Structure 1
């Protein structure tokens, strides 16, 4: 067994730019759609600041969506799960699979601050049954050690394993770190991943690349190692999210809320939706 752990670098970084879509919605692309191979298995990530009324009822097919609440409360309703509320620090893992129709809406009178990630799933599982998992902040595996709060929403990191079910294997971890603290989470060497700094600043990777609030830092290759890690050190109090996942390695065709493998499958999704057979 190969016990060597490859120390990852940061390959590149950037700062998403917020744009005002309306007087109740501003957003930034943490991951801009279209760069399918480079970001595999991640399709896009939006950072939204919004009030009630931004998103009406809408469908999805062929993906999993991962919502992480930074501030505010988000009401959600769908055709299967019923209704619920996500609070600050909560997350939700939605498997759209064959099809889901839902609404995500800020609580009335509130400005909600959230991240939503779209994760690709393999062709053979794109038509699976829809599923919701509400990941409450107080229910997630959590440890505070040496000035670092580690909360695992998906996957396993440093002895903590979340019960979250994934189609595409994904690790999602929230780190809240005191100034001067450090941690080196381990992730599979085959995973593609990134960090998003929500507060504070620090250094990342084996080359100690600087990262500040609002910056996205993509991990360098795992170099075909079975195991890899990424060193994180807080230069000031810091809140940072780590996302890493197993690439799907399949063609991506995306149109609106549907992500499939071929144009014909996208066409069929729209036909199903218009014919009322989308959710069967």
Structure 2
């Protein structure tokens, strides 16, 4: 158990400014308890005497900067979350995209942020179960997150009862091994079919390294950003989408309130946002 830590107003502002620069997430006085608990854990883990010494060491210690950022990321997810968007993917988005493709062409789908992998694996399972042309195209699914811990968990592919609670039992049995120590492991074929990479939604170069995608799932993260960070993320997501590609946000999020780069598309199962065809200057 880490000791109680109290940050001065100035220390809190410095830390929040650092987190904002690194992640785009906005923290402040209202999250003081949450912040102090996580910083206290890092001081204990690094055996640092006080916040001033700890914060001063971050510039030279990339590994600890990463550990601190990991401590503040939000990783709430489960399989088949917002299932209506998965239905939209197989019923509307992919059928629209393949009108300009040939069998065998590559289709890239991105889960960002992917947390511990539930969303990326859900997309793969959904398509195997619900899109009859899944084997006719080269489907590439990538999951990205800023948090290196959750990426390791995603690659490991072990999930507990809560993560699997929304998934039909027959699919759990089909795609996961038997229960061992209260967790089930996703089958090796699926584990090997998805690439998990580190990326930061407000860092253009780290996103550019991921390439161009036809469909992006970026759900329930922009609500943690302020207006400026949302604008930066919107531009970065736009740049990662192929012309005509689709962006799926969380059910409480709307790109129309953030940026005019995207066209609103209303399908039977969901409202999504499309990068218009053709070139558009920034």
TM-score, reference length from structure 2: 0.31
- Identify the structure with bigger relative contact order (alpha carbons < 8 Å, sequence gap 6+): 1
TM-score, reference length from structure 1: 0.31
